[in-house]
Chain A
Amino acid sequence: MTVTQSEIKHANGTPEHPKSLLLRMDRMPHIWCSRCGIGIAVGCFAAALEKAGLSPDDITVTSGIGCTGRTAGYVKVDSFHTTHGRAIPFAVGLVMARPDLKHVVFSGDGDLISIGGNHFIHAARRNQDLLVICVNNFIYAMTGGQLAPTTPTTARATTAPYGSFERPFNLPALAAGAGADYVARWTALHVRRLTDSIEEALHREGFRFIEIIAPCSTIYARRNKLGTGLDLMKYYYENAVIDHDANLNDLDIGFQSKIIVGKFVDEKRPSFSAAMDSHMRKVLGNKYVPPKPGGAS
């Protein structure tokens, strides 16, 4: 890839959108609401790709269904908008077939953790070479505001009109418990730290999980009388605490409570493909025929 972002200009010579190299400008405007946090997350992702020195042809993006699930449709890389909950196993197929590329799953909390929860823990357990970016907005926004497995206790949703009485998932603890190599959480306010975290994770192997707490202005904030997306950003500003050494069990998020952010897990264990390769070499010796990226003829 020889074209750089600064070289991309409108016909009249003015610079294009600063991330136009990585975004499908022919699909703009996107469907996300104003003051939604998903655009910030995607912006950080695009910035991280640039900082990481990666070409759009070095990566794929796979999404599931939901607001964040539309991400695959806006990033200008080989991109896959799959079914609800199945982005991770779809990407497992991609990464096994093409281990020479980097594969990113970019989806929401309901998609990845509720309907896709089983795939999430198993891909983490196997330490599959995937970077999973989860935008957590505490609610099912695309379908109009239903209860999510991340909805804070007492917060309201259309299917929890009297407030939720369930305990939400603590996503970093879940990912770490399942075996993820790299686990971080940031909010949409922490754009630099989030970008650095994505850049760092892009260069790692194994299962990497980054949770992004992001405002849902239209659905979550309105239903819970929390103001706008800007007010939620203020809430993050006043309540987010950076603590890389936090006990994983302390990372629960209550309704408008403090949010502990940081990088909680950073380990290097053999990834699925590395473990498979070394195991087969040891057990089968010269009978082992390593797979070729893209398959046989």
Chain B
Amino acid sequence: MVNPDPIGVLTGVHYLDGDHAAAEGACAAGCRFFAGYPITPSTEIAERCAHRFPMIGGLFIQMEDELASIAAVLGGSWGGVKSMTVTSGPGFSLMMENIGLGIMMEVPCVIIDVQRGGPSTGLPTLPGQADMMQAKWGSHGDYEIIALAPNSPQECFDLTIKAFNLSEQWRLPVLLMMDECVGHMTEKVVIPKADKIDVVQRRYTDKSPDQYFPYEPESDLVPLMAPIGKGYRFHTTGLTHDKRGYPVMNADTQEELVHRLINKIVKNVDKIIEIEEDGVEGADVVVVSYGISSRVAIPAVEQARSKGLKVGELRLITVWPFPQERIRELAGRIRAYVVPELNYGQIVLEVERCAAGKCKTRLVPHGGGWVHDPEVIYQAIIEAAK
């Protein structure tokens, strides 16, 4: 960990919406290449980057579409520059193929999805949380991903930095799953001085070109990168490849590569997962939530507690990889999980899987377009506690 270049750190106390805060998080994290395509409700991130980047040594380009945006981000990152794109549902769908390329080539980069109501064009200006499973499974093939879900403008700033750090540490695209409410909600955002911010730098090899294999992993299962133009003359491909980066079309190579791509996340979940708990010990009901729904759940939980119910809150800051050990462990001690989300049941499936019948799991669905009425979550808690 090092401190970032202060030129990108807008130290001070600000009044920002989540989109602008995320843009500042990128600037602070050392992101110096942005390639994107306008789409509501993420556009403000692009606009702020377009405004800020020329003054902090950054490169901004509005690409012709989202397919191009994510491709350029992968290229920019291979060029050694921390790179980001932002989008919303329809654009997120278009990015899926090259998110897979980012997984396969192991390219550090950040993709922000400010979620809106779907399917299709859906509700461009209104919130949703229905891309959560797409974040996990959207690109074809088997892989693990890292996805974070901020619930405030402050966290949009903080978690954008964290997303860049995770992407550099584990060498993969990291998704920041915002939602329209968090993106357009304006609150106090404190940006610390650069010397109080930690950033992970590109993990470059110190081997000489004749000893370097681009896909030979370190002990944490992550291979180190090589800078371009320095004599390494490496090859990288979306095809299944060996440690040289050369295509090899057989089941053994597939097993070695894909299993490592999965295991570099699965075996390191303790270093990746961040959750927030409140009143979970001794609780009868635990509300599992993320993003804007975690804010909406607060009055419902408080109301239930005022009636004497033992209600805990577990907030997913890291949604993927899913904190399955903790959910399993708690399931044996509580009566029920309550899961409010702006979809008809996505993360609840994971909660239910991990609960494995040891406690009830109750979804509080909402199709998106607005947030839950806290009263509905409260009623679900009451029902679940019975």
**Chain A residues in contact with chain B, CB under 8 A?**
1, 24, 26-27, 56-58, 60, 62, 72-73, 76-83, 85-86, 88-98, 100-101, 118-119, 122, 280, 284, 287-297
**With a CB–CB cut-off of 8 A, which chain B residues contact A83?**
71, 97-98, 100-101, 238
Q: Is B228 within 8 A of A93, CB to CB?
A: no
**Chain B residues in contact with chain A, CB under 8 A?**
2, 4-5, 7-8, 30, 32-33, 35, 54-59, 61, 63-65, 67-69, 71-83, 97-98, 100-101, 105, 201, 227-239, 246-247
Given contacts A97-B59, A295-B80, A297-B201, are A92 and B75 in contact (CB under 8 A)?
A: yes
**With a CB–CB cut-off of 8 A, which chain A residues contact B228?**
60, 78, 94, 98, 101
**With a CB–CB cut-off of 8 A, which chain B residues contact A72?**
235, 237
Task: Please measure, in the bound complex, the distance between the C-alpha atom of A241 and the C-alpha atom of B48, giving whole angstroms.
Answer: 52
Q: Is A57 within 8 A of B231, CB to CB?
A: yes
Q: Is B33 within 8 A of A90, CB to CB?
A: no
**Residue picked from A82, A88, A101, most chain B C-beta under 10 Å:** A82
**With a CB–CB cut-off of 8 A, which chain B residues contact A89?**
35, 63-64, 67-69, 71-72, 75
In the assembled complex, how far is the CB of residue B125 from the closest CB belonging to chain A, in whole angstroms? 26
Q: Is A295 within 8 A of B81, CB to CB?
A: yes
Task: Please measure, in the bound complex, the distance between the C-alpha atom of A280 and the C-alpha atom of B79, giving whole angstroms.
Answer: 22
**With a CB–CB cut-off of 8 A, which chain B residues contact A58?**
229
Given contacts A119-B64, A291-B58, are A79 and B76 in contact (CB under 8 A)?
A: no
26 of the cross-chain contacts (CB-CB < 8 Å) are A24-B235, A73-B235, A79-B236, A81-B235, A81-B237, A82-B98, A82-B101, A82-B238, A83-B97, A83-B101, A86-B68, A88-B68, A89-B68, A93-B73, A94-B75, A95-B75, A97-B83, A98-B80, A98-B228, A101-B229, A119-B68, A122-B68, A287-B54, A291-B32, A294-B79, A295-B32
Q: Is A291 within 8 A of B68, CB to CB?
A: no
Q: Is A297 within 8 A of B30, CB to CB?
A: yes
Contact of B233 among A78, A93, A290, A297 (CB under 8 A): A78
In the assembled complex, how far is the CB of residue B375 from the closest CB belonging to chain A, in whole angstroms? 47
**With a CB–CB cut-off of 8 A, which chain B residues contact A56?**
233
**With a CB–CB cut-off of 8 A, which chain B residues contact A77?**
233
Given contacts A78-B233, A96-B76, A97-B33, are A292 and B71 in contact (CB under 8 A)?
A: no
